C-alpha cells in the first residue's frame, strides 16, 4: 500500500468512527442527512428528457400564478390608459394609411395642400376658402398656354386668368354642390352619345360632359339656344367679364333674361361703356342688377363705372361669383352649405 492509499484508509476509519460515536445524537443525524441524496435530484434526469419538461412546466405554472395575481392591477392600468386615449381622440376620427404606419410620412393637412392665396385681394379670399371646403368641388388649376404666368414664384394661381373650360367646370361643380340635397335642381352632365353642342368639343374631350351639360340646359349659349354663331366653344381661351355674367345669371334668376337698352344699364349701373356691351350680355348684366346686394358683378369687381366686357377674369374673381346662387330674396352660399 502506498502513501496515498494509506491516507485515504485512515480518513475512512476516522469518519466511520465519528459516525458511530455520534449515532443517535443531533450532530450525527445532521451529518447523515447532509450526505443523503436529494429526492428531487433522484426524480429528475440531469440532461433533459421528462425531467427537463417537468421542470419547465413547473416554472411556467409558477409564472402563470404570479401573472394571475398581478392581473387585476395590470387590467386597471390598461383600462385607465384606454380611457385617456379615447378622451384625446375626436369621436369622428378615422385613421388613415399614414396613421397606421408610423414609418410613413404624415399626409399634409388639407389647408396646406390647397393653393396659396398670396396676392389675392383680401375681399376675395374668403370666397375661395368657402368653395374649397365644399365636397365634390375641386378648384383644380389646369395649366394652359393662354394662362398668364405669375410674376412671383409664390404668387397664387388664383390671381391668374381663368379659361372658359375651367370656369364651366367650376360653375357646374359649385352649383351642384350647393344644391346637393335637391336633385331636381341639379345640373345634369352631357352624354358621349349626345349630339355635340360645339364643333371643337368632341366626346373625347375631358370636359365634354360638363360643357355639353351646360349647353343642353341652356346655360351656355349655343345652337341649342338659337345662337347659330356660337358653333365653337374655344375651351382654352380666357374667360371674359361678359361671359362670366352671361353664364352665371340664369342660374340665379331662373327666368328669361329681361329686355333692356344701353341707356337703361348705364342708368342702373353707371357704366360709361354700356354701348360697348353685346346685346345678350347687356341683358344678363341688367338681370344681375336685379339681385341687389347679391349682384355677381359687384361681389367680384367692387365699385367701378366701367363694365369692360372683353376684360379677362381671374380665378379669384370667378370664385367670388360662384360663391352664391339665388335671387335677391332667396339664395344659398357656399358658407351656408358648410353650416
As for how many domains the chain has, the answer is 1
Would you state the pLDDT for residue 135?
73
In angstroms, rounded to a whole number, what is the distance separating the alpha carbons of residues 62 and 41? Answer: 19
Mean pLDDT, the chain, whole residue set: 75
pLDDT confidence of residue 279: 96
Q: Does 9 have pLDDT greater than 60?
A: no
**Residue 57 above 50 pLDDT?**
no
310, part of any domain? yes
Model pLDDT for residues 265-317, shown as the tens digit of each residue: 999 999 999 999 999 999 999 999 999 999 999 999 999 999 999 999 999 99
Per-residue pLDDT at 89 exceeds 60: no
222 vs 148, more confident: 222
What's the pLDDT score for residue 233?
97
Cβ atoms of 190 and 213 closer than 8 Å:
yes
Q: Among the listed ranges 22-26, 101-105, 242-246, 254-258, which one has the minimum average pLDDT value?
A: 101-105
Decide: 169 and 315 in contact? Cβ < 8 Å: no
More confident residue, 45 or 308: 308
Q: Which residue has the higher pLDDT, 286 or 39?
A: 286
Domain that holds residue 153: 122-338
Q: How far is CA 269 from the centre of its chain?
A: 42
- Paired strand residues for 254: none
Q: Is the pLDDT of residue 43 over 80?
A: no
Nearest to 217 by CA among 166, 176, 263: 176
**What's the pLDDT band for 38 if we cut at 50, 70, 90?**
very low
Dihedral, 180, 186, 231, 253 alpha carbons, nearest 10: -100
Is 203 domain-assigned? yes
Q: Would the pLDDT of 339 be above 80?
A: no
Task: Give strand pairing partners of 333.
Answer: 324
Indicate whether 145 pLDDT > 90. no
Model pLDDT, residue 103: 36
User: Which has the minimum average pLDDT: 99-103, 109-113, 214-218?
Assistant: 99-103
Residue 242 has pLDDT above 60, yes or no: yes
Contact 236, 146 (CB under 8 A): yes
pLDDT of residue 68: 46
pTM of the model: 0.64
- Does residue 30 belong to any structural domain of this protein? no
Do 131 and 137 meet the contact criterion of CB atoms below 8 Å apart? yes
Is 79 domain-assigned?
no
The 3-class SS string of the chain reads: CCHHHHHHHHHHHHHHHHHHHHCCCHHHHHHHHHHCCCHHHHHCCCCCHHHHHHHHHHHHHHHHHHHHHHHHHHHHHHHHHHHHHHHHCCCCCCCCHHHHCCCCCCCCCHHHHCCCCCCCCHHHHHHHHHHHCCCCCCCCCCCCCCCCCCCCCCCCHHHCECEHHHHHHHHHHHHHHHCCCCHHHCCCCCCCCCCCCCCCCCCCCCCHHHHHHHHHCCCCCCHHHCCCCCCCCCCCCECEHHHHHHHHHHHHHCCCCCCCCHHHHHHHHCCCCHHHCCHHHHHHHHHHHCCHHHCHHHHHHCCCCCCCCCCECEHHHHHHHHCEEECCCCEEEHHHHHC
132 in any annotated domain: yes
Residue 56 pLDDT > 50: no
- Segment 113-137 mean pLDDT: 83
Q: What is the 3-state secondary structure (H, E, C) of 20-48?
A: HHHCCCHHHHHHHHHHCCCHHHHHCCCCC
- Residue 111: pLDDT band (50, 70, 90) is very low
In a domain, 17, yes or no: no
Provide the pLDDT for residue 244.
98
Closest alpha carbon to 166 in 224, 125, 211: 211
Segment 192-209 mean pLDDT: 96
Residue 233 lies in a domain: yes
Question: In this model, does residue 228 exceed pLDDT 50?
Answer: yes
Q: Is residue 44 part of a domain?
A: no
Q: What is the pLDDT of residue 338?
A: 82
Amino acid at each position: 500500500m502506498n502513501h496515498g492509499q494509506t491516507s485515504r484508509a485512515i480518513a475512512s476509519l476516522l469518519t466511520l468512527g465519528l459516525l458511530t460515536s455520534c449515532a443517535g445524537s443531533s450532530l450525527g443525524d445532521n451529518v447523515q442527512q447532509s450526505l443523503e441524496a436529494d429526492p428531487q435530484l433522484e426524480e429528475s434526469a440531469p440532461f433533459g428528457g421528462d425531467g427537463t419538461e417537468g421542470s419547465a412546466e413547473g416554472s411556467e405554472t409558477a409564472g402563470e400564478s404570479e401573472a394571475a395575481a398581478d392581473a387585476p392591477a395590470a387590467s386597471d392600468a390598461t383600462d385607465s390608459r384606454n380611457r385617456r386615449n379615447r378622451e384625446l381622440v375626436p369621436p369622428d376620427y378615422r385613421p388613415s394609411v399614414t396613421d397606421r404606419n408610423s414609418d410613413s410620412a404624415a399626409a399634409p393637412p388639407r389647408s396646406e395642400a390647397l393653393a396659396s392665396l398670396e396676392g389675392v385681394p383680401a375681399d376675395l379670399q374668403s370666397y375661395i376658402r368657402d368653395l374649397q371646403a365644399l365636397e365634390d368641388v375641386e378648384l383644380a388649376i389646369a395649366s394652359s398656354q393662354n394662362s398668364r404666368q405669375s410674376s412671383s414664384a409664390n404668387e397664387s394661381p388664383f390671381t391668374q386668368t381663368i379659361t372658359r373650360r375651367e370656369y364651366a367646370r367650376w360653375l357646374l361643380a359649385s352649383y351642384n354642390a350647393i344644391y346637393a340635397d335637391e336633385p331636381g335642381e341639379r345640373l345634369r352632365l352631357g352624354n358621349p352619345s349626345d349630339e355635340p353642342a360645339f364643333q371643337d368639343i368632341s366626346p373625347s374631350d375631358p370636359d365634354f360632359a360638363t360643357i355639353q351639360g351646360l349647353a343642353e340646359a341652356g346655360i351656355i349659349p349655343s345652337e341649342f339656344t338659337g345662337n347659330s354663331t356660337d358653333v365653337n366653344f374655344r375651351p382654352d381661351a380666357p374667360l371674359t367679364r361678359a361671359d362670366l355674367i352671361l353664364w352665371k345669371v340664369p342660374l340665379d334668376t331662373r327666368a328669361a333674361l329681361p329686355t333692356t337698352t344701353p341707356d337703361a344699364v348705364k342708368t342702373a349701373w353707371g357704366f360709361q361703356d354700356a354701348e360697348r356691351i353685346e346685346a345678350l350680355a347687356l341683358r344678363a348684366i341688367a338681370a344681375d342688377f336685379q339681385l341687389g346686394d347679391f349682384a355677381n358683378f359687384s361681389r367680384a369687381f367692387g365699385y367701378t363705372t366701367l363694365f369692360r366686357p372683353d376684360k379677362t377674369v381671374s380665378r379669384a374673381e370667378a370664385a367670388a361669383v360662384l360663391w352664391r346662387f339665388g335671387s335677391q330674396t332667396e339664395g344659398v352660399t357656399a358658407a351656408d352649405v358648410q353650416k
